[in-house]
Structure 1
């Protein structure tokens, strides 16, 4: 049960700063109170105007502190309810001074452990908010149907035991059949490895195919979790610019790569589709350099004009391409099931590595997912979601046309679950932080760059936001811009 605070922030925790800009002092005091446990998860903070009066500072000072705390994951705004301490905090609990001292010194960690600690990726676990990127419409998932399938399989005692590291055989067969028909992937069930997530696949690929110090090429802008995963394994990640045809590797001046990460069917986050000449040339370059191409086909099931584009993997029969996919977007993120298709010669090494890391994915959920596909529910669900997402994209574009004209330009897309908005004026990172306080999840384009970003943009995920909530969120965003 949440409680309302009044005046408690005036009792400042010991060790918090008493000098510096006022907004940094307010930020540090609130953060210290959260980390010490005085402000428990779910605690409601006073309104910014009330708090400013209590502290004797300008309201903008408190707003700036709240924006920073929300951007770092300490606070969450709930529309119509106020601002609360986040339920899932981004760091360990304890007073600030003690928290910093409790973190192991780099010398106490392995080199890999120190690298992982330095990366500090977002911990996640927070509820989806308006425009969250990469989140599907779980409100439209056929939950009653899923529960019936789950209940039927739940009576099988064999699914309570340990299982094969490569994955449940019927699920691998169903995945291979679907990828061959829908995505043009060339594979047999024996090449499919069932994983917990795409992120696990990226980690496995680095462990099995690359050594510390090897060069990996990553799209710029690109999926930042790839950079974090591979840098955590000691790889030298080099950004390669994306142009209108996709990864522009011809312009790269980096050393020859061991790994090349691409999202050719719907480049993340720009939305560019890699051209056929660029795909063929990239495959040839990979052969010349002895490199492996990692194709992440994260959301290409959702194409709203024509059939989904064929995968890059099918162009060379999967000889130099490792193909990643996930059910997180097509079904729901909590399922924690994904897949990796590898060339036949690499299967044994990957299966052994998977077994050593975490043995296998849950057999019961694998069996239910296989039934969902085999009985035709998966194909029907994808068809329904294509129509739903097309409607939600149209609702976002219409709301943006009415409320954001002259400030943010959104362009329609034939594929995917998000749109990239170009800012006509202003700073995207600043607007993103202000939107977070209002309960709106917008990621700035520069967050997906390793090097400098010369364009101001924001990512709008629309799949999980119903039209009525979308219109309200766009109006809030327009008010923030004003």
Structure 2
């Protein structure tokens, strides 16, 4: 390999200190990327070619490539091949450090893991070798019949495995026929709006709520009512007053995104009663229901639904890894035909090999073991971040503790959260601005930081918090506010979101 693909030295087979062949290959490629020998956008040889060049098995290459992809160094583009992430996820080794008063702007690669990043699990602890083995198994076992059109609603084995998993872990009793496989949560949203919605339909949406879903639904032509949340979750009475004839309710009942409370039982029952009377669909986004630190995970809202009004949306982005882009819906009989028709022409399920590997990952117990390990790891990382924040004792941060989820909320006083996020970005951090999740500020603007702890190793928590304190101090410095509105707009542009268009779109 040249500058576009630096040639690797032969791997050492007889020296134990060198590690496994897979680890050696992983290290060589990683170091080539970090040093700049493999430049941004460089195309790597195919797994077969790399195996021949390095004198190792193709499975070893597949496993090393998969690990680098999970960590954000590589990206696979189907038949086009495997490439170094563009732009590079981190600066090359040896890059001169900028002085503290003028920190170096890191590359804008949102695929790279950075401290406090929200919505990303601990991909560094994912069993990549196991997943690669399962994926390789089904790639090698492809039959001629697999090359034709697959079931657009998903592979039967995966649907059965998900149904079995939900019955045990989430209290949702369903049949495999009611499970539909989707391209992650956003694939599920696309399927739902194409199958069940009409332009101009009203929908309740939590405020604050998941901004990417809000943007997707607005692009689809839905008119969203920004329904406030309080300590009990979605305010059902307020929603009924704002949009009594809404066709949809989008809700995160197990762990409200972003504030973290659970929807109380009285509110759950009230929501189901209203939906039954209004003939509305309740879309339950259970994005991280597996991770409850204080007790067993709360049962899903779907488990209380005896009238077929709740469509349960799940994803493996948090429990496995985001690049998998694998999700599912549990669909009541009243919506099955419409969703199946749309899936067949617009939103077919992901590739068979991925689905079959995921079915084995669940069915052979790897998923359950991984989730148990992650609960312990997240408890450790949550505790480490909490301790570091307590030691900081900043008068500008008030930490809110919740019993579930993968991020902490730090309420902010004295500075605009969007500007702190901008300053933190310059220091290599990736907290989220709570205000960006707010649709309507009629009751007062919320200011705070979302601090993801899942991708932050416990040993790095103090260092990350120290850099966060620097960002806050810079945002508080006289003359530092070059316009919080401009900073927030820049943050929205980087995330690909359009700004909220005002109260007229939420009422």
Tell me if structure 2 keeps the 8 A contact 1:77–1:437: no
Please name the residue that 1:349 is paired with.
Answer: 338
Which residue, out of 401, 418, 429, partners 1:412? 401
Which residue, out of 328, 341, 355, partners 1:366? 355
Give how far 1:404 is off: 4.3
Q: 1:451 and 1:74 mapped to 2: Cα distance?
A: 35
Please name the residue that 1:248 is paired with.
Answer: 235
Please name the residue that 2:188 is paired with.
Answer: 201
Please name the residue that 1:258 is paired with.
Answer: 247
Give how far 1:410 is off: 1.6
Tell me if structure 1 keeps the 8 A contact 2:261–2:402: no
Please name the residue that 1:447 is paired with.
Answer: 436
Cα deviations across residues 311-354 of structure 1 (Å, max 9, x unaligned)? 00110136000000101110111111100111023212112201
1:422 alignment partner, SS class: strand
Which residue, out of 174, 181, 186, partners 1:187? 174
Which residue, out of 422, 426, 446, partners 2:415? 426
Tell me if structure 1 keeps the 8 A contact 2:204–2:225: yes
Q: TM-score, normalised by structure 1?
A: 0.75
Which residue, out of 221, 225, 234, partners 2:208? 221
Tell me if structure 2 keeps the 8 A contact 1:396–1:467: yes
Which residue, out of 443, 450, 457, partners 1:466? 457
Which residue, out of 241, 246, 268, partners 1:279? 268
Tell me if structure 1 keeps the 8 A contact 2:276–2:307: no
The answer to whether residue 112 in structure 2 is matched with residue 127 in structure 1 is yes
Please name the residue that 2:137 is paired with.
Answer: 152
Q: TM-score, normalised by structure 2?
A: 0.71
Gaps (5+ residues) in structure 2?
Answer: 5-38, 42-85, 99-103, 474-507
Tell me if structure 1 keeps the 8 A contact 2:407–2:450: yes
Please name the residue that 1:301 is paired with.
Answer: 290
Please name the residue that 1:382 is paired with.
Answer: 371
Aligned residues: 379
The answer to whether residue 473 in structure 2 is matched with residue 478 in structure 1 is no
1:175 alignment partner, SS class: helix
Tell me if structure 1 keeps the 8 A contact 2:182–2:348: no
Q: 1:304 and 1:245 mapped to 2: Cα distance?
A: 19
| Structure 1 segments of 4+ aligned residues over 4 angstroms from their partners | 73-82
Cα deviations across residues 181-228 of structure 1 (Å, max 9, x unaligned)? 110113111000001110111122122222111101100000112211
Give how far 1:161 is off: 4.4
Q: 2:470 and 2:308 mapped to 1: Cα distance?
A: 52
Change (3 A) 1:353 1:414: same
1:393 alignment partner, SS class: helix
Please name the residue that 2:152 is paired with.
Answer: 165
Give how far 1:85 is off: 7.3
Q: 2:336 and 2:87 mapped to 1: Cα distance?
A: 43
Give how far 1:162 is off: 3.2
RMSD: 2.3
2:470 alignment partner, SS class: helix
